[in-house]
Structure 1
């Protein structure tokens, strides 16, 4: 491993924490361990032109002149639309930038287009970044050829390298053309940011991670009601913000965010420090929207966003959305409400922050014909026109000159020209981080809890029973876990004098040693009779809490297809929620709930997950249980 730069020495962890405590008592923080004050950019945001070179960084000290601002050309629609049938361009975006791509498509489609003699219709679709990259790598083989995208616009170029490394070099170009950008920042409720002083004097990433490991940070600042410092991070295998968080963790441990290399990621000392950083993570989530939805739910229930998070690593556009009252439980459906009482403040760490550059690539797979490629390229051209860039700004992004819409900047409290923007590292570095994540992530202590009431024997559209489909999905989900993850299986119904039959069928243990027993027990499950939902959650959450381990993600994955129904008197909903609340303040067990089938008690399952700080997942269409459960296990 290379030596750290002179102005960013590797920190002694105990000394760093003590200095952090002293600084928090003064509220106004000063530099840690001699200070990290490297200037990573000169005036203004990083432009998209700089970011299209993978592995590039912002201009540094001594750079020549700033580039001249781009003068965006006006769009020039065709005088009349080309002949029908129109060329259909399916444009695949990430969840994060889906609104922008949708608006661009609407504006493009609203004017006459003639490309290669045909009219054009752009049809936007969206998926999580990691899933889209995996599908691109294999040529979107699960879709019919006429349903596959011709254009892919992930929110960061890192996913292009991930897809190519996974076998997609025949489908995905090496580079894309940036159409917009959004800085990935540390977002905090404004009162918390003010109390710690980061709204006035931003921290380094080293300070951020050290603070997240300090259980007394808020008590030291006379705010014990905020509990421990809760740092929200998405999975780096799924979301760009998760990639940025993990890369920043490695860069902090290696001594430089801007110069992170694959060798750093392989270094044992760096790996050990990143593992330590990850222990402060309560759990991972698939998208930034998940975290922000929970924060808003906490406030709406009369509490505070601080009940769920102290800080979360997200893109600027998500901060703007949250502050104007827009949240999403699943990244698909949007909830528009009044702005929150507690606004978020974006923090731009002083040693650099990654920039999501939204590259557009015309895919090169065999399913993309010449007409589709030409039409897709014309849509990308439109995105860079004055009309397209106006939409970029209006939807919360920086344009190709790094400019924000003034209203967006005001509502999001965004810095107009922050210093320190960094392109994502070269593909080799990003891929190395992806491969290393399984080694450094916080390990799980999780119990799968499956409803085996009589209705689980009902048939679904595939011809399988609900229980049979659930078994397949759970078995596939086990592939996500690795050595060191403790996983077990329990099932519940009520029959005769047994209120929780059959109970634990595979005790929680290291999955590499217990998987055969787990799958054998899973295969033997069969539908029984009643649905003692409240009793099962109360009992098994209490049991999981008895084995609570602060260095693990302690959780239950609950799959239920019905409502609480028992033959004999049993635990009430109020009793169950009181148990969960008590555990949440002592030995918290996250209960992730999955509503399985149209008759599932969605309201109760949402209340259960919310009471524990976990997430609710909707598989009321039981044919989607594979995908939904696969999404859920990215929390570990």
Structure 2
């Protein structure tokens, strides 16, 4: 039958009633006519990187389904979802995080909160995306002049921006790959790389990608292939290209996680007799999962590879063929890296107390003076610190400032203040001119702890970093036993001020340093060679949460 402007034919197909509209069968009318009075709702929480593609699939799924279903795709950062679910608020039927590591994070967080983690049925990934180095298209040729690799990132030879791994699975997986290329015999190498990467943490992955065009030197962002595709899809003024690490990479697995308890709790009452054919929420969720796996076109168009890493993409800035990538990552190892990252990037408020006694003039094994070696280590350390670190500088030796053994040269202030940073750099350069006197170790230590306590900032790690090449030589100052008693009296677990002591050279009193460190819950380190100072400093920073019982 023909009707001007539209064609409508009622047909019986199986047991359902369909309305032929505009040249195709529309099952929504059929489901309503078949006894489905209101749609069943499915709620799927998905990482923002894949949520738009899933929303497109959901629209087609709802339209094509005869089960009267309304599928809601809620975009939420995987880290946030992990935290929400861990607290017992798993109000969804399924969750698609960008990586299985967020399931491990959810379970670990639930345990720490004394909660029972929600029951989750882990199903295979629905897509994958390799971790890549994003670069500005205009810098691509210059960047390709040397191999782009994790090894170069590890050594600091390739300027790199790392979005916060606390919020980005691509960043965390990137750190996992980076650790795999570090020396197993020298854990400081990886720790040092993390300190350098944590010096400036961008507000978000989008902010990091947007900063690439403004960089003078070729710079990369550790991210995923899909995030590069999504960024370019927004028609940016400076498009990006994905550079693939020449020494291999890893991939995000996008698992499909069903929450049976949530689905069961939302299940409607027993259907009325006229609605006996209506599916349960669990069945509908299985159907939606199948629809996702069948609709490879939507995921490919969004820049995703197949779950096994295969697939060909036709997107600007992206390689057509997939790189070889390790998709099964060690979740426990990633959480261990995340904990280490949290320690290394803790924002510090530190008073550096530097020995300028006459013995610092003596030569080290390599022919340089001890003070020269310290200058080199100090400059390297300054380059690793974030602008959010607050640093002050004292120098000490006997009768340095009248009757005092210590001299305040720079207040504790943020290194983000250019003038303050330049002031400290000037102090470091002037140290050889300040040498003289004996080692007034104990009085200087006590005064430094008092100074940090006077202006304590509970939002930061407050500490004293004392560097010396000798032992206490101030006979008129406080004795070791009295110093330890004073430090113990001042100790406040709610406001800890650990003293980190670094001694170098053959004359250091390591036993006394260890006692001071123990009573303040700090640490004492001995650099057998002065040139090891930089390495020891990485240890001092990386072991902050295990003191005083670091292995």
Q: TM-score, normalised by structure 2?
A: 0.52
The correspondence for 1:355, drawn from 251, 255, 258, is 251
- What SS does structure 1 have at the residue aligned with 2:44? strand
- 8 Å contact kept, 2:162–2:197: no
What is residue 332 of structure 2 aligned with on the other side? 428
Tell me what 2:322 maps to.
417
Q: How far apart, in 2, do the equivalents of 1:205 and 1:235 lie? A: 18
* Maintained 8 Å contact 1:275/1:442: no
Q: Are the structure 2 counterparts of residues 158 and 80 from structure 1 closer, same or farther at C-alpha, using a change threshold of 3 Å? A: farther
Correspondence 1:123 to 2:72: yes
Residues 279 and 442, structure 1, Cα contact 8 Å, conserved in 2 = no
Closer, same or farther: CA 436–280 of 1 in aligned 2, 3 Å: closer
In the superposition, relative to structure 1, how do residues 280 and 123 fare at CA in structure 2: closer, same or farther (>3 Å)? closer
The structural deviation recorded for 1:161 is 1.6
Q: Distance in 2 between matches of 1:85 and 1:307?
A: 58
> Any residues of structure 2 matched to 1:211-610 within 5 Å, and which?
213-214=156-157, 230-254=159-183, 269-285=186-202, 287-295=204-212, 304-307=213-216, 310-324=219-233, 326=234, 337=235, 339-340=236-237, 342-366=238-262, 368-369=264-265, 371-385=280-294, 388-400=295-307, 402-404=309-311, 406-408=313-315, 411-419=316-324, 421-441=325-345, 443=347, 486=389
Spell out, residue by residue over 1:303-348, the C-alpha distance to the aligned partner (whole angstroms, 9 max, x if none): x442497100111122223334x1xxxxxxxxxx4x54x5433222
- TM-aligned CA distance change 1:308 to 1:193, over 3 Å: closer
Q: Give the C-alpha shift of residue 172 in structure 1.
A: 4.6
1:24-43 equivalent positions in 2, closer than 5 A? none
Shift of 1:440: 2.9
Q: Shift in Å at residue 414 of structure 1?
A: 1.6
Q: Name the structure 2 match of 1:133.
A: 82
Structure 2 contact 229–302 (Cα < 8 Å) conserved: no
Q: Separation in 1 of the partners of 2:166 and 2:339?
A: 9
Q: Separation in 1 of the partners of 2:117 and 2:261? A: 6
Match of 1:84 in 2: 37
Change (3 A) 1:397 1:548: farther
Change over 3 Å in CA distance of 1:110–1:308 after alignment to 2: farther
The equivalences for 1:175-190 within 5 A come to: 175-190=122-137
1:403 Cα deviation after fit: 4.8
**What's the CA shift for 1:97?**
1.6
The secondary structure found in structure 2 opposite 1:152 is strand
Q: Structure 1 pair 363/195, CA: closer, same or farther in 2 (3 Å)?
A: same
Q: Secondary structure at the match of 1:234?
A: coil
Gaps of 5+ in 2: 1-25, 268-279, 351-386, 392-410, 426-551
Q: Taking structure 1 as reference, are residues 164 and 308 closer, same or farther at Cα in structure 2, changes over 3 Å only?
A: farther
Structure 1 residue 381: Cα displacement = 1.2
| TM-score (norm: length of structure 1) | 0.46
Q: Per the alignment, in what secondary structure is the counterpart of residue 162 of structure 2?
A: strand
Deviations 1:5-33 (A, max 9, x none): xxxxxxxxxxxxxxxxxxxxxxxxxxxxx
Higher Cα radius of gyration: 2
Q: Report SS of the residue matched to 1:236.
A: coil
CA distance, structure 2, for counterparts of residue 165 and residue 374 of structure 1: 30
In the alignment, is the contact (CA less than 8 A) between 1:253 and 1:274 conserved in 2? Answer: no
Q: Is the 8 A contact 2:85 2:117 kept in 1?
A: no
RMSD of aligned alpha carbons: 3.6
Aligned length: 325
What's the secondary structure of 1:167's corresponding residue? helix
Hey, what's the Cα distance between the residues in 1 that align with 2:192 and 2:86? 29
Matched residue SS, 2:31: coil
* Alpha-carbon spacing, 1:390–1:79, altered in 2? closer, same or farther (3 Å): farther
Q: Secondary structure at the match of 1:176?
A: strand
Is 1:151 the equivalent of 2:94? Answer: yes
Residues 88-127 of structure 1: pairs in structure 2 closer than 5 A: 88-114=41-67, 119-127=68-76
Q: Is the 8 A contact 1:294 1:308 kept in 2?
A: no
- The CA distance in 2 between the partners of 1:486 and 1:366, in whole Å, is 44
How far did residue 234 of structure 1 move? 1.3
Question: 1-side partners of 2:194 and 2:339: how far apart?
Answer: 17
Taking CA–CA contacts closer than 8 Å with sequence separation of 6 or more, which of the two structures ends up with the larger relative contact order? 1
Q: What is the match of residue 478 of structure 2?
A: none
Mapped contact 1:392–1:398 kept (Cα < 8 A): yes
- Give the C-alpha shift of residue 293 in structure 1: 2.8
Mapped to 2, the partners of 1:285 and 1:102 lie a distance apart of 28
CA distance in 2, matches of 1:312, 1:175: 30
Q: Mark the CA change 1:366 to 1:545 in structure 2 (over 3 Å): closer, same or farther.
A: same
